[in-house]
Amino acid sequence: MNFAEKLKAARTAAGLSQHGMADRMLIPFRTIQQWEGGQRTPPPYVQRFVLNELEEIAADPLVCAEREGALDNLKKMMASHEAWKANHPRSKYDPEDERIKEDLEELKRYEDKINEARMEELHKAPRISEEKRKELEERLAAGEKLSDIFNPKRTK
């Protein structure tokens, strides 16, 4: 079974569409399409990382659904908050502001935990040098996406 087949099987087992996987793993949708179509193949340590991440999602569907539901609820709450602010432009105190700030801080903590887990996965990848591993950690910590690191845009 090649990587494209393994990726598709793991993604469907996790209950994710290609778009859902792209959003969840911060990888461009087109990259996932190319991987599954066999047009491109990432390095072995990226393959292991992506497949392990999908296995974790598949193993814990309740947590996955709960987090996605929380994010959807937060988006709805923020939209209703913006609508309220538009209808009350002169209000000095908005009781929802504190609640939204708390929710955004919670999401930031969640993103930090995901990044920490990704860093741990990088430490487990056996076939890269320590120097390369540190470079990857720095680039991920700086906010670069995995797809940008492993599939850089070609310049003419």
Residue 156 maps to a domain: no
pLDDT of 133 above 80: no
Is 24 in contact with 57 (CB distance < 8 Å)? yes
Range of the domain at 109: 3-150
| Range 131-141 average pLDDT | 82
pLDDT band at 156 (very low <50, low <70, confident <90, very high): very low
pLDDT digits (tens, 9 = 90+) for 26-74: 888 899 999 999 999 988 888 988 888 888 877 765 555 555 666 666 6
Residue 134 amino acid letter: K
pLDDT digits (tens, 9 = 90+) for 68-103: 666 666 677 777 767 766 766 555 555 566 777 777
Residue 110 amino acid letter: Y
Residue 87 maps to a domain: yes
pLDDT of 117 above 70: yes
| Range 4-14 average pLDDT | 89
pLDDT of 5 above 90: yes
Residue 84 maps to a domain: yes
Higher pLDDT among residues 127 and 9, named by residue:
9
Cα dist. 6→1, 12, 63, 79 in Å?
Answer: 7, 10, 23, 39
The pTM assigned to this predicted structure is 0.41
Residue 28 maps to a domain: yes
Residue 71 maps to a domain: yes
| Range 9-23 average pLDDT | 86
Q: How many structural domains comprise the chain?
A: 1
Which helix or strand (DSSP H or E) is residue 77 part of?
helix 61-87
Is 4 in contact with 33 (CB distance < 8 Å)? no
Cα dist. 104→20, 75, 84, 88, 95 in Å?
Answer: 21, 10, 18, 22, 15
Residue 155 maps to a domain: no
